Amino acid sequence: MAALSVRGLHKRFGSTEVLKGIDLSVENGEFAVLLGPSGCGKSTLLNIIAGLERPNEGEVEIGGRVVTGLPPRDRDIAMVFQSYALYPAMTVRRNITFGMECRGVPRARQDEAVARVAALLQIDGLLERKPSQLSGGQRQRVAMGRALVRDPLLFLFDEPLSNLDALLRVDMRTEIKQLHRRIGSTIVYVTHDQIEAMTMASRIAVMNLGRLQQFATPDEVYHRPANLFVARFIGTPPMNTVKARLASDGAALVAIVGAGRPDETRLVLPAAPEAARAWIDREVFFGIRPECISDGGRGVDFSAVKVSAEVELSEPTGAETVVLARLAGERVRARVGPHVRLNQGQSAPFLVDTRTTCLFDPASEQLIA
């Protein structure tokens, strides 16, 4: 059963349309991540799901019940905010019990619930403190506790980790993931951090400019991006997308980068989809992940194509070196071994693994599948 369904959602603020028709269905127990650049409407969507904003059009269904007109308190949801939104004048304990207080839960049950959540999140020692006496990580935990103390149909998280420092964020990421595994509830989680999305999500909803671009597993979003936006948004560095001409070479398809140039590069595509045949002798966008272009020192399969490209920039990151190079005139990024040092202007050999590439329609920008 779908824990959450959103149908045909439109939201306008004055004359600007922030959500332009969102359809989304999240299964029971799923960890759905809303991912997208700043200002694309993630928080707006989450607020509409929570009932904090009204949509101009469309419907929201939670646990099989249409809740579009209902106020937040009648939607059986819990929410964690980016700013944590802890009530400054209340102790941690009161912060956690406030929701139960509003719902008239008896005192004994409240105490029980607080004890359970405090143990779960290891905040037992903080219960009598005020939020101003807590560190960022502790506040984050309390904010989680306030949501977890209830047993709602749906948890909504709006960038809960973005105010934490990098190390703490990695820890909390793991904890939230484990927590989800333990309690098994449905979560909708907003972030603009790809790593968070990739590591935690069961499915990622990629949004841009008020539209849902793709809603699929992290694997699929990464390897089969639905369109050029997703391809260029996911991954650090993201997928290379270069103009290429498609040609057939016997049974196989070939992408020709820089066709007509003296250094034109022919890349055989062993895994090109059937639909791509319609694009023979036409221009497409050829997409390839930077890790599929390497210096050959990483045990790449012998089926890889040897190419030569001119190095423009070399960025050592520690674990690897990202090289910006020109392949037949087109800019591409490659990921080479950490000890490989290439000089600017030098022409260097690369190995291109073409087994997992993508082709995009240049007009509609959609994946050719």
Partner 1 sequence: MAEAVAEAVAEAVADAALPVATPAARRGRWLIYAVLLSFAVFFLVPLGVVLLNSVRTAQEIGLGSVIGWPRGFAMENYAEAWSRYCIAQRCEGVRNYMWNSLLMTVPATLVSTALGALAGYSVSLWRFRGDTIVFTIMLMGVFLPDQMRLIPWALVLRELGLTNTIAALVLIHTVQGLSFTTLFCRNYFVGIPQDLIKAAKVDGAGFFRIFWRIVLPLSPPILIVTVIWQFTGIWNEFLYGVTFTTGAQQPITAAIIAISVSSPTDVPQYGVQSAAVLLAALPTLLVYFFGGRYFMRGLTAGAVK
Ligand X SMILES: Nc1ncnc2c1ncn2[C@@H]1O[C@H](COP(=O)(O)OP(=O)(O)OP(=O)(O)O)[C@@H](O)[C@H]1O
User: Given the rule CB under 5 A, which residues bind Mg ion?
Assistant: 43
Token output for 120: 């779960």
Cβ proximity to ligand X: between 41 and 287 the closer is 41
Ramachandran angles phi, psi of 342, nearest 5°: -115, 140
Under rule CB under 6 A, residue 49 binds ligand X: no
Determine which helix (DSSP H) or strand (DSSP E) holds 86, and give its type and residue range.
Answer: none
Q: What is the 3-state secondary structure of 181-222?
A: HHHCCEEEEEECCHHHHHHHCCEEEEEECCEEEEEECHHHHH
Under rule CB under 8 A, residue 72 binds partner 1: yes
Cβ proximity to ligand X: between 192 and 203 the closer is 192
**Member of 26, 78, 148, 292 binding partner 1 (CB under 8 A):** 78
**Member of 1, 102, 166, 363 binding partner 1 (CB under 8 A):** 102
Cβ proximity to ligand X: between 42 and 169 the closer is 42
Token output for 189: 């989680």
Token output for 96: 């956690």
**Member of 44, 138, 140, 194 binding ligand X (CB under 6 A):** 44
Helix extents (H) in 164-310: 166-183, 194-200, 218-223, 228-233
User: 132 touches which of Mg ion, partner 1, ligand X, none (CB within 5 to 8 A by kind)?
Assistant: partner 1
Cβ proximity to ligand X: between 192 and 289 the closer is 192
**Member of 13, 71, 112, 135 binding ligand X (CB under 6 A):** 13
Could you say which residues in the range 198-217 bind partner 1, by CB under 8 A? none
Under rule CB under 6 A, residue 38 binds ligand X: yes
Cβ proximity to ligand X: between 13 and 87 the closer is 13
Cβ proximity to partner 1: between 68 and 356 the closer is 68
Are 81 and 160 spatial neighbours (Cβ–Cβ below 8 Å)?
yes
**Residue partners of 328: CB distance under 8 A and separation at least 6:** 257, 258, 261, 263, 264, 265, 309
Minimum distance between the CB of residue 60 and ligand X, rounded to whole angstroms? 16
3-state secondary structure of 285: strand
**Residue listed under structure tokens 């190079």:** 325
Binding mask 23-52 for partner 1 (x = CB under 8 A): ------------------------x--xxx
Binding mask 187-216 for ligand X (x = CB under 6 A): -----x------------------------
User: 39 touches which of partner 1, ligand X, Mg ion, none (CB within 5 to 8 A by kind)?
Assistant: ligand X
- How far from each other are the two terminal CA atoms of the chain, in whole angstroms? 29
User: 85 touches which of ligand X, partner 1, Mg ion, none (CB within 5 to 8 A by kind)?
Assistant: partner 1
Q: Which amino acid is at 224?
A: R
User: 44 touches which of Mg ion, ligand X, partner 1, none (CB within 5 to 8 A by kind)?
Assistant: ligand X
Buried b / exposed e along 15-25 (16+ C-beta atoms within 10 A): eeebbeebebe
Under rule CB under 8 A, residue 153 binds partner 1: no
Question: Which DSSP string corresponds to 99-161?
Answer: HHHHTT--HHHHHHHHHHHHHHHT-GGGTTS-GGGS-HHHHHHHHHHHHHTS--SEEEEESTT
**Member of 43, 97, 214, 227 binding ligand X (CB under 6 A):** 43
Are 110 and 97 spatial neighbours (Cβ–Cβ below 8 Å)?
yes
Q: Which stretch binds partner 1 (CB under 8 A): 54-62, 98-106, 182-190, 239-247?
A: 98-106
Which residues of this chain interact with partner 1, rule CB under 8 A? 47, 50-52, 71-73, 77-79, 81-83, 85, 87-90, 98-99, 102-103, 132, 146
Which residues of this chain interact with ligand X, rule CB under 6 A? 13, 18, 36, 38-44, 192
